[in-house]
Each structure stands twice: as C-alpha cells, then as structure tokens.
C-alpha cells in the first residue's frame, strides 16, 4: 500500500504520476508528510472504526514509529479522538465532508431529485461516485414508511463506501472506464469476496461490465450484503461523461424480478436525466 500512497517520480521532469487516479505532480511540490497524514485518515472505514498504532502501520505501510507520530498529531489537531491505545475519528472530520456535500453541484442536484423518487418506487436510493476502489455515496434517500425499519440495507447513508465491484452502482462506474483505466483499476484493487455471491473472477467481471456498458444499467444481487441487491443507471454530465451512478436498493427477490425491474428502470433513467440538467 505504501507504494500506492507515495509513488516514485517518473523520469520526465521529475513528474510524479499517481497510480490510481493518473494525476501528475512535480516532485518538488509533493508534501510527503501531508500524504502520510491523509493516508492515516483513509484507513478508517465502516469495518475499521478504531485504529491502534500497529493496525495503522499495517494499513499504510508506515513504520510503527511514523504511524504513532501521525496518529498523535491528528489527535492533537482534533481530527481524531482516542484513549491512548485506540484512535477514532472526531466530529471535526465532518467539516470538509459537509462543505463538499452542501456545495458541490452533484450532491445538491442529486438530493433535489431523490426527494421525490422514493415515493414513486418505494425503494431506498443513492447516488455514488467512484473513489479509488470504492463506490462512495454522495446523496441518499428512502421512503418515509421505512424510516423506522429495523433492518436496513447497508450503505445508504452519505459518505458510506463499499468496494466498487460488489454493487450495481459500482459496476456502472467501472463499466464507464476506458480499457486502459479498467486494467489499471483491476491491477490496483483486488476483487475481495464479501458474500457467496460476490464476483471475484477478473475475466467474468470484465464480461459483466461489457454487458453493463452495452445495456446502460447494472444489477447486483447480494454481492456485498446477503439479502439485498441493487439496480443502477449512469448519471451523465453535459459533456457525455459518466460522473456518478444512481441506484435503487431492494431485497434480492425484487431486484431479480423482471417485472419489477421493467417498472423501476425507466424511473431511474428519468431521474438520472433530471440530475444531468441540474449539473
């Protein structure tokens, strides 16, 4: 992981090229300490809400001494809370995330459209973007009658991340990558298994993505969470680029039902078109 976070410069003009997003930076403009501190924050996810020094070192590739210094610095600055042995995110981390969600065009447009969509479908809905190996929720909504539900599908809240290859929304985003980008993505992120339904074979995933690209929508059945699946369509901007995916989350029985999909798919496509106009 350390090589991904701190890539060496290329031979041309001391340019550093990030292996995942392809962005370049002059070597003299790169601040390694900042990158390492942010790498610590990236370690936190829904499966790892607390970090020890040892776990932080394992996840980043840093030495334990370096991981300890970065954790303590983030604690000092207020971005982490902790008890001396374990560290966890503090509310201060919400400031930059909240600014993005409230000011960026995509989340604002998505929220406006999602307000009415659940009333038409009776489903949970979310809009996600691709960030590294994960599909990240930037807007979500669910029907009022399910607000007090005891069993909810995982990952419907803003800021949540799930591995892109496990969800319908992630498959839509991966299908939008060009062949070179997809090869780079597959090389960078292992296809980890989360349920018995998770697709972990690289060639089979590529075949599935080719079908998604052709038909313009994707389905996933229990690949991340047993019992729940998704139906997703792309959100396309004015330049014709896929910038996000809009999905409906339901039980596997609903997602697998062709009649249900035929009713829900046009509603999703219409909503995606409405978001495009607002971008």
pLDDT of residue 6: 52
pLDDT of residue 73: 95
What one-character DSSP code corresponds to residue 9?
B
Q: CATH 3.30.450.40 spans which residues of the chain? A: 104-278
How confident is the prediction for the chain on average, in pLDDT?
Answer: 88
> How far is it, in rounded angstroms, from Cα 227 to Cα 194?
13
Report pLDDT digits (tens) over 29-63: 989 889 999 999 988 876 788 999 999 999 999 99
> How far is it, in rounded angstroms, from Cα 199 to Cα 149?
29
Rounded to 5°, the CA angle 11-14-19 comes to: 75
pLDDT of residue 153: 55
pLDDT of residue 3: 46
Q: Per DSSP, which regions of the chain are E strands?
A: 15-17, 24-26, 80-82, 87-89, 124-131, 134-141, 161-163, 218-221, 228-236, 242-251
123 confidence band (pLDDT: 50, 70, 90): confident
Contact 194, 202 (CB under 8 A): no
Report pLDDT digits (tens) over 221-264: 999 999 999 999 999 998 999 999 999 998 889 889 999 999 99
What one-character DSSP code corresponds to residue 216?
T
What one-character DSSP code corresponds to residue 19?
T
Report pLDDT digits (tens) over 70-112: 999 999 999 999 998 999 999 998 888 888 877 789 999 998 9
Q: Which CATH architecture is the domain 2-92 placed in?
A: Orthogonal Bundle (1.10)
pTM, rounded to two decimals: 0.78
pLDDT of residue 2: 45
Report pLDDT digits (tens) over 127-138: 999 998 999 999
Q: CATH 1.10.10.10 spans which residues of the chain? A: 2-92
Fold designation for 104-278: Beta-Lactamase (3.30.450)
Q: Which two tokens stand for residue 140?
A: 């979500």
């Amino acid at each position: 992981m350390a090589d991904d976070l701190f890539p060496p410069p290329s031979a041309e003009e001391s340019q550093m090229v990030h292996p995942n997003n392809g962005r370049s930076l002059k070597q003299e403009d790169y601040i390694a300490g900042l990158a390492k501190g942010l790498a610590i924050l990236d370690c936190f996810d829904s499966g790892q809400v607390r970090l020890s020094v040892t776990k932080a070192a394992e996840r980043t590739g840093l030495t334990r001494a370096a991981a300890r210094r970065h954790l303590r610095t983030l604690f000092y600055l207020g971005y982490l809370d902790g008890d001396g042995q374990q560290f966890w995110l503090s509310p201060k981390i919400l400031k930059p995330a909240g600014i993005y969600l409230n000011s960026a065009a995509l989340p604002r447009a998505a929220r406006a459209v999602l307000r009415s969509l659940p009333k038409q479908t009776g489903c949970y809905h979310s809009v996600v973007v691709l960030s590294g190996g994960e599909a990240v929720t930037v807007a979500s909504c669910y029907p009022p009658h399910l607000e007090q539900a005891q069993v909810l599908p995982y990952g419907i809240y803003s800021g949540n991340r799930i591995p892109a290859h496990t969800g319908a929304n992630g498959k839509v985003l991966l299908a939008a990558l060009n062949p070179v980008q997809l090869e780079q993505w597959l090389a960078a992120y292992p296809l980890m298994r989360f349920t018995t339904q998770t697709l972990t074979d690289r060639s089979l995933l590529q075949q599935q993505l080719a079908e998604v690209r052709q038909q313009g929508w994707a389905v996933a059945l229990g690949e991340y969470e047993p019992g729940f699946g998704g139906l997703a369509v792309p959100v396309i901007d004015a330049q014709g680029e896929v910038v996000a995916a809009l999905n409906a989350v339901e039980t596997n029985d609903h997602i697998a039902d062709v009649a249900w999909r035929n009713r829900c798919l046009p509603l999703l496509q219409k909503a995606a078109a409405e978001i495009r106009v607002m971008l």
